[in-house]
A and B are shown apart, each in its own frame.
Chain A
Amino acid sequence: MSYARGTIAALVDAVVPGTPGAEGVQADGALDIDLDETVETAFNELQEAPEGPVRSLGYETMPFAPVLALLLDIGALELVLRREREESLRSPKDAYAGGPFSRLGPEDRMRAVRLLEADGLFPALDERYPDVPFGIVAYLMQGAMFITAMAAYSDWGDDTERPQGWRQADYPGPAEGYAVHMGYEVEEFVENDYGGGDGAEEDDTDDGATAMAADGGDDSDPEAWFDDRSRSADEAGDAEGGADR
Chain B
Amino acid sequence: MSGPDADTREPDVVVVGAGGDAPALAWRLGQQGIDVLMLEAGPFHGNERFPNPHAERGEGASRSPADLSGDLLDEQFTAREGDMGSPVDGKLRWGPADADRAPWARTVPQTGVISQVAGVGGTTLHYYGNHPRAFVPAINDQPHWPLDYGDLVPYYQYLEDVHPVKPAPTTPKAELFYEGARRAGYDLTTGLNVEEEGYRPFPNAILQPDEALQGEYDGDFRDLSGDTLAAHEHQGGPHPRGADFERRAKRGSLVSLVPKALDTGHVEIRPNAFATQVLTRAGPGPLEACGVEYRDTWTGRARRVFADVVVLSAGCIETPRLWLNSGLPDDGWVGRGLTTHHFDFVSGRFDADTLEEIIGQRAVEPHQGQAAGSRLDVPGAGGIAVNTFAPGITAASMYSESVNGFAFENDTSGEPWDTEGRVVGQQLKDEMSDYRRTLTLICHTDDRPRQDNGVSLDPSTEDEHGPIARLDWSPHPEDDERRLDLARRSARLLEEAGAEHIHRSAAAPIFLHMQSSMAIGKVLDTGGEALSADPLFVADHSALANGVGGANPTHTGQALALRTAEHLADRSFDGVADPIPADPTPASADD
B217 in complex: contacting residue of A61, A175, A179, A190, CB < 8 Å: A179
* Contact call A224/B448, Cβ cutoff below 8 A: yes
B214 in complex: contacting residue of A183, A195, A215, CB < 8 Å: A183
**Highest count of chain A CB atoms <10 Å: which of B88, B151, B214, B240:** B88
- Which residue from chain B places its CB closest to the CB of A181 in the assembled complex? B213
B169 at the interface (CB under 8 A from A): yes
Q: Give the distance in Å from the alpha carbon of A148 to the alpha carbon of B542 in the complex.
A: 31
Contacts of A237 on B, CB cut-off 8 Å? 146, 521, 525-526
* Contact call B229/A177, Cβ cutoff below 8 A: yes
- Count of A interface residues, CB-CB < 8 Å: 111
Contacts of B400 on A, CB cut-off 8 Å? 15, 145-146, 148-150
A75 at the interface (CB under 8 A from B): no
Given contacts A107-B425, A138-B111, A178-B229, contact A151 B82 (CB under 8 A): yes
* Contact call A145/B195, Cβ cutoff below 8 A: no
Given contacts A145-B422, A155-B80, A182-B172, contact A168 B531 (CB under 8 A): no
Q: Give the distance in Å from the alpha carbon of A244 to the alpha carbon of B428 in the complex.
A: 58
* Contact call B167/A143, Cβ cutoff below 8 A: no
A117 at the interface (CB under 8 A from B): yes
Contacts of B167 on A, CB cut-off 8 Å? 184-189
Q: How far is the CB of A35 from chain B (nearest CB, A)?
A: 12
* Contact call A230/B522, Cβ cutoff below 8 A: yes
* Contact call B108/A139, Cβ cutoff below 8 A: yes
* Contact call B587/A243, Cβ cutoff below 8 A: no
B150 at the interface (CB under 8 A from A): yes
Q: Give the distance in Å from the alpha carbon of A145 to the alpha carbon of B397 in the complex.
A: 10
Tell me the B30-64 residues at the A interface (CB within 8 Å): none
Stretch at the interface among A1-9, A95-103, A205-213: A205-213
Given contacts A181-B214, A225-B143, contact A176 B201 (CB under 8 A): no
Contacts of A211 on B, CB cut-off 8 Å? 146-147, 521, 526
B78 at the interface (CB under 8 A from A): yes
Q: Give the distance in Å from the alpha carbon of A168 to the alpha carbon of B188 in the complex.
A: 37
* 23 A-B interface contacts by CB (under 8 A): A14-B425, A45-B102, A48-B102, A114-B406, A118-B403, A136-B108, A153-B391, A178-B369, A181-B209, A181-B214, A182-B175, A192-B190, A205-B150, A207-B146, A214-B148, A225-B450, A229-B331, A230-B332, A233-B144, A233-B521, A236-B525, A240-B146, A243-B571
Give the B-binding residues of A (Cβ under 8 A).
14-17, 19, 22, 26, 42, 45-48, 50, 61, 106-107, 110-111, 114, 117-118, 126, 133-136, 138-139, 141-143, 145-158, 165-166, 168-195, 199-205, 207, 210-211, 213-215, 217-221, 223-231, 233-234, 236-237, 239-240, 243-245
Q: Can you list the 4 inter-chain pairs with the closest CB atoms, starting with the nearest?
A: A154-B392, A177-B228, A192-B191, A240-B525
